[in-house]
Amino acid sequence: MDAATQEINAATQSMALYSLLPTVFVGIGTGLLIWTLFLTRSANHAAVAAVAETRRIGETQLRAWVGVERWQIEINGDINTGMMQEVLILIDWKNSGSTPAYEVSIKTGLASDKIFSEDSTWNEDGEAVINIMPNSPGAFGRPVVFSPERIVASRDDPIVIKSAVRYRTIFDQTEWRYSDTTWEFRYRGQATLEQVKAGNFSYHNMMATFVRPSGKMT
């Protein structure tokens, strides 16, 4: 092979190499562009997630939280004889949040009552109350009434009461918030039935414990 032929072959190979370089550079550029787009998209997702988390924290701090504050006992008696006729147990709900709780509805009764069954509806069984403002006096559900006989019998057969609440917050348009709690009441006094009827009874004679300490809250 003469020198001229060798020069032609070398030139041909160089041209082939030079023609390949733009393709390589385009491929590298495309890869860098894809990588940049991936990083940008990941950053956008992270930013959106951060905004959503910040909003969730803000709503949690500002929204209404309706929970049980206390239980209360009232005694009704015959004004003429002074004999005790019935004992009323009430569960008090309070808004401990920073904004009002709206469209509050409360159900209170024996834990076995049908108002707590799966086919029960709030419209039929819930007791509508006014909106509960933050840190204002709480709202009672319908009192649960017991005879003196049932109170004395609770020494051995405790009274189990459940109370549930449904409400909306300023951040809820279609969603409802729920909370419920269950209590067990026992009479711990030593008075007989006749003594209890005669007035030998006070709320100090009743011991209340949580059946479910944490209750349910959303």
What pLDDT shows up at residue 216? 57
The DSSP call for residue 132 is B
Least confident range of 43-47, 97-101, 137-141, 180-184: 43-47
- Same domain? For 117 and 182 the reply is yes
- Same domain? For 3 and 103 the reply is no
User: How many folded domains does the chain comprise?
Assistant: 2
- Same domain? For 99 and 58 the reply is no
Give dist(CA 140, CA 163) in Å, integer: 10
- Same domain? For 89 and 194 the reply is yes
Q: Which domain holds residue 112?
A: 66-217
Query: Two tokens at 124?
Result: 């039929």
- Same domain? For 138 and 44 the reply is no
Last residue of a domain, one of 39, 62, 85: 62
pTM tops 0.95, yes or no: no
Could you tell me how far CA 161 lies from the centroid of its own chain?
A: 20
- Same domain? For 105 and 213 the reply is yes
- Same domain? For 26 and 125 the reply is no
- Same domain? For 119 and 161 the reply is yes
Q: Give the per-residue SS3 of 168-202.
A: ECCCCCCCCEEEEEEEEEEECCCCCHHHHHCCCCC
pLDDT tens column, 4-51: 555 555 545 555 555 655 666 666 767 767 777 766 776 666 666 666
pLDDT tens column, 159-214: 999 999 999 998 887 788 998 999 999 999 898 999 888 888 887 888 888 886 44
Average pLDDT score over residue span 84-96: 89
- Same domain? For 41 and 73 the reply is no
- Same domain? For 47 and 76 the reply is no
Last residue of a domain, one of 25, 42, 62: 62
Last residue of a domain, one of 20, 45, 62: 62
- Same domain? For 212 and 131 the reply is yes
- Same domain? For 28 and 87 the reply is no
